[in-house]
Amino acid sequence: MIETDFVPLPYQQEVNEAKITWKSPSNIALVKYWGKKAHQIPANPSISFTLSACATTTSVTFEKLQTPSKGSRFDFFFEGRPKEDFKPKIDQFFERTKTYLPFLGSYHLKISSSNSFPHSSGIASSASGMSALALCLVDFERFLNPEMTEAHFIKKASFLARLGSGSACRSIEGALVQWGAHAGIAESSDLYGIRYEGEVAAIFNNYHDTILLVDKGQKQVSSTVGHGLMHGHPFSEQRFAQAHDTVSSLQSILASGDLKAFIQLVESEALTLHAMMMTSLPYFVLMKPNTLQIINKIWAFRERSDTHLCFTLDAGANVHVLYPENEKTLVYPFIQEELLPFCEKRQHICDRVGFGAKKVTATPYN
């Protein structure tokens, strides 16, 4: 599909008012998206586990305007309070999506969002937040064009979510989502994420992700700035090529269930992401001393316990500890005893692989 396939046909129905609510999860990348081109096109393909516990619930109330407006008109509330500092990001999202959602000029929107995870936990909420908002918008469009197929609905939600935040396009479905054109994955696209349909061994069912909150402070580098650092980066071309090979390797590992190979791939991806930041200009070290303490503890425990936990990192200091369901009785007590002392106030989130966003309500009032 190409961009223009997401411009809708003339609307068939009229709706004056509606309220739509979706709950959308976060996701954790196994192969990382780091570097992008214009219009939110990724510089390399990525694959993520969709999560379950970390989620954003967003309600949008639509009210038809008496006279259509050129710019988008909306109010934004976060956890029940008006939140002005989120508005520029949402404004930018409406600007990028208006061609694909022409109804936007004819409605006033009241957007209310809340997160299941603690506010300012350093956990990125843009993936869950932007995907929940995109789902509400495309679900409203389905009232206007009831013939929209389910397959188009899912693709368009992911396409729009990407325009809000790249990784958000991987938060519509589960359990594994792939985004970015890749020669070995049929239907893969730079424009939206797709559910990973390759063979996946049972060991990856119900995989755990215990998120350790090492540093709850404001991110040192926003992802937009971070992606920008890959322009003119001395290792960018090798990195982008490597990610294609890593996705291919991950396909075989997912099919075979080879956890040793999985650990190596996932940890190497996380460290490569941080290596890119350490070797850019300007350079950043986003790990904290406690991030390294945790990594060393994980390596030591894995060595002595014959378990298969591993870590991955986003563009920050928090650590995601990944492990299979059948090892949780060994791994979780280890996390509690040896890793939580390195977290701020022992804070952590017990998450696991999930199956994507869920509609809460969608009611048109005419």
Residues of this chain that bind ligand DP6 (CB under 6 A): 29, 32-34, 40, 46, 124, 126, 165-167, 223-224, 227, 273, 314-315
Q: Which is nearer to ligand DP6, 215 or 314 (CB)?
A: 314
What is the rounded distance in angstroms from the CA atom of residue 62 to the CA atom of residue 60?
A: 6
Cβ distance to ligand DP6 smaller for residue 43 or 253: 43
Residues 58 and 164: their CA atoms lie apart, in Å, by 14
CB of 149 vs ligand DP6, minimal distance in Å: 27
User: Closer to ligand DP6 at the Cβ: 141 or 314?
Assistant: 314
Distance between CA 260 and CA 308 in Å, rounded? 7
Q: Residue 191 or residue 273: which is nearer to ligand DP6 going by CB?
A: 273
Beta carbon nearer to ligand DP6, 8 or 356? 356
- Say which residues have a Cβ less than 8 Å from residue 80's Cβ, sequence separation at least 6: 112, 114
Buried b / exposed e along 232-252 (16+ C-beta atoms within 10 A): ebeebeebbebbbebbbebbe
CB 286 within 8 Å of CB 276: no
Of 28 and 263, CB closest to ligand DP6: 28
Separation in Å, CA 73 to CA 138, 237, 239, 256, 286: 17, 41, 41, 51, 37
What does the block give as tokens for 357? 């966003």
Query: CB of 96: closest distance to ligand DP6 in angstroms?
Result: 11
> Which candidate, 231, 222, 315, places its Cα nearest to that of 33?
315
Q: Which residue is nearest to ligand DP6 (CB)?
A: 166
Instruction: Output the smallest distance, CB 126 to ligand DP6, in A.
Output: 5
> Which string of b and e fits 270-304 if b means at least 16 CB within 10 Å?
bbbbbebbeebeeebebbbebbebbbebbeebbee
Q: Name the minimum Å distance from CB 214 to ligand DP6.
A: 16
Closest distance of CB 319 from ligand DP6, Å = 13
CB of 97 to ligand DP6, least distance (A): 14
- CA–CA dist 236, 42 (Å, integer): 13
Q: Can you tell me the distance from the alpha carbon of 199 to that of 255, in angstroms, rounded to the nearest whole number?
A: 5
Our CB check for ligand DP6 shows the closer of 123 and 331 to be 123
* Contact (Cβ atoms closer than 8 angstroms) between residue 170 and residue 127: yes
Tell me the closest approach of the beta carbon of residue 17 to ligand DP6, in angstroms: 31
When the beta carbons of 111 and 273 are compared against ligand DP6, the nearer one is 273
Kindly tell me which of 8 and 35 has the beta carbon lying closer to ligand DP6. Answer: 35
For the stretch 57-68, what's the b/e string if a residue is b when 16 or more beta carbons lie within 10 angstroms of its beta carbon? bbbbbbeeeeee
| Cα of 103 vs its chain's centroid, Å | 26
Cα separation, 64 vs 43, in Å, equals 39
Taking every pair of Cα atoms in the chain, the longest distance, rounded to a whole number of angstroms, is 69
Please report how close the Cβ of residue 228 comes to ligand DP6 at its closest, in angstroms.
Answer: 9
Min dist CB 167 to ligand DP6, Å, is: 3
What are the residue ranges of helices labelled H in 279-344?
A: 289-305, 328-334
